[in-house]
């Protein structure tokens, strides 16, 4: 059984939902970024999404745009992100998902990316701008099935399309909470609940919800309907607002335990 499935199974037994944390690899710099991620893992993160920065992140709001900019300015590349993955893997067993736009992977080489991602200990990849219509060119070069291809479902996705996406996905499904870029406000948990019910009628994989979730209250309310909650911009905002803080890893660890507590369902 792979790490992703194992994680969802064991959380289910504990009556908890998955806390999925996104941070941009190399923000604010490579060594600090490693410390931040390790601290978040220790503080109870269930799944790590490691963001590979891209110069033109068209699905991201200003917070992740700026974090990508900081990381690239510090020399961050996909190759270094894979090295970081290898280092993090030595200290944790949680699933790690590489979160990227397609161009850095395409430039690295689809085949080499698969091999190096698997050997570094990554469990999945989510490519924002690679819909099922275009992903064969990448997966056809892969030598195995050890890397889950995490698929996105949007509020605009019609139900027939949801089904066809779910059928070709593995690991978990990432449901975008609202139309808009990452970090936009206006989370409507009622709408999210409706979308999840529709998606569950055609999909068996666990469903994680992301975009616009920033407070423990948001987490608790989405946790009541989803299998996992993705936090990205809120973590990156915390990094950005505390760039000169003496203990940035400590701050992110503390926030992680607060979010994690909100994923424990008590009823």
Partner 1 sequence: MNFFNISGYPDAKGHFGAFGGRYVAETLMPALLELEQAYRTIVPTPEFQKELNYLMHHYVGRPTPLFYAKRLSEHLGGAAIYLKREDLAHTGAHKINNTLGQTLLAQRMGKRKVIAETGAGQHGVATATTAALFGMECKVFMGTEDIQRQAPNVQRMKLLGAEVVPVSSGTGTLKDAMNEALRYWVGAVQDTFYVIGSVAGPHPYPVMVRDFQKIIGEEARAQIFAMCQRLPTTLIACVGGGSNSMGLFYPFLNDPVEILGVEAAGKGVKTGKHAATLTAGSVGVLHGSKSYLLQDANGQIIEAHSISAGLDYPGVGPEHSMLKEAKRVRYESIEDGQALEAFQTLCALEGIIPALESSHALAQAMIEARKRPKSDILMVCLSGRGDKDLGIVASALKKGESA
Sign for the CA dihedral angle at 181, 127, 83, 259 comes to: positive
Closest CA to 179 of 153, 148, 145, 149: 153
Write down the least CB distance from residue 153 to partner 1, Å.
7
Is 49 annotated in the active site?
yes
Chain centroid to CA 261: how far? 19
Report the residue number, 153 or 239, with the smaller CB distance to partner 1: 153
Write down the least CB distance from residue 4 to partner 1, Å.
20
Closest CA to 96 of 52, 141, 140: 52
The site for partner 1 (CB under 8 A) is made up of 54-61, 65, 72, 77-79, 101-108, 128-131, 133-134, 151-158, 161, 165, 176, 179-181, 184
Write down the least CB distance from residue 84 to partner 1, Å.
15
Q: Backbone phi, then psi, for 251, in 5-degree steps?
A: -60, -45
Sign for the CA dihedral angle at 206, 20, 82, 78 comes to: positive
Catalytic residue among 16, 27, 46, 49: 49
Report the residue number, 55 or 119, with the smaller CB distance to partner 1: 55
Catalytic residue among 16, 27, 46, 60: 60
The partner residues of 173 in beta bridges, in order of sequence, read 151, 207
Is 83 annotated in the active site?
no
- Say whether the peptide bond before residue 28 is cis (omega within 30 degrees of 0): yes
Report the residue number, 94 or 117, with the smaller CB distance to partner 1: 117
Buried b (16+ CB within 10 A) or exposed e, 120-150: bbbbbbbbbebeeeebeebeeebeeeebbbb
Report the residue number, 104 or 206, with the smaller CB distance to partner 1: 104
Write down the least CB distance from residue 71 to partner 1, Å.
11
What positions carry a catalytic annotation? 49, 60
């Amino acid at each position: 059984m792979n790490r992703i499935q194992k994680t969802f199974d064991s959380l289910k037994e504990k009556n908890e939902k998955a806390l999925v944390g996104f941070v941009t690899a190399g923000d604010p710099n490579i060594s600090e970024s490693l410390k931040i991620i390790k601290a978040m893992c220790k503080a109870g993160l269930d799944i790590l999404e490691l963001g590979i920065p891209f110069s033109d992140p068209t699905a991201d709001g200003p917070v992740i745009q700026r974090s990508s900019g900081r990381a690239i300015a510090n020399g961050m590349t996909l190759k270094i992100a894979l090295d970081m993955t290898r280092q993090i893997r030595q200290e944790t067993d949680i699933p790690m998902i590489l979160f990227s736009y397609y161009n850095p992977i395409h430039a690295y080489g689809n085949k080499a990316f698969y091999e190096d991602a698997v050997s570094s200990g990554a469990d999945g990849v989510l490519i924002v701008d690679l819909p099922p219509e275009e992903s064969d060119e990448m997966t056809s070069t892969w030598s195995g099935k050890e890397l889950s291809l995490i698929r996105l479902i949007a509020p605009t996705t019609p139900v027939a399309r949801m089904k066809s996406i779910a059928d070709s996905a593995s690991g978990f499904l990432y449901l975008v909470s609202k139309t808009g870029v990452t970090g936009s406000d206006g989370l409507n948990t009622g709408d999210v609940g409706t979308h999840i019910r529709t998606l569950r009628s055609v999909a068996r994989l666990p469903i994680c919800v992301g975009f616009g979730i920033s407070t423990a209250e948001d987490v608790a309310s989405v946790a009541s309907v989803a299998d996992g909650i993705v936090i990205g911009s809120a973590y990156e905002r915390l990094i950005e607002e505390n760039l000169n803080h003496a203990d940035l890893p400590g701050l992110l660890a503390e926030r992680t335990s607060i979010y994690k507590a909100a994923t424990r369902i008590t009823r």
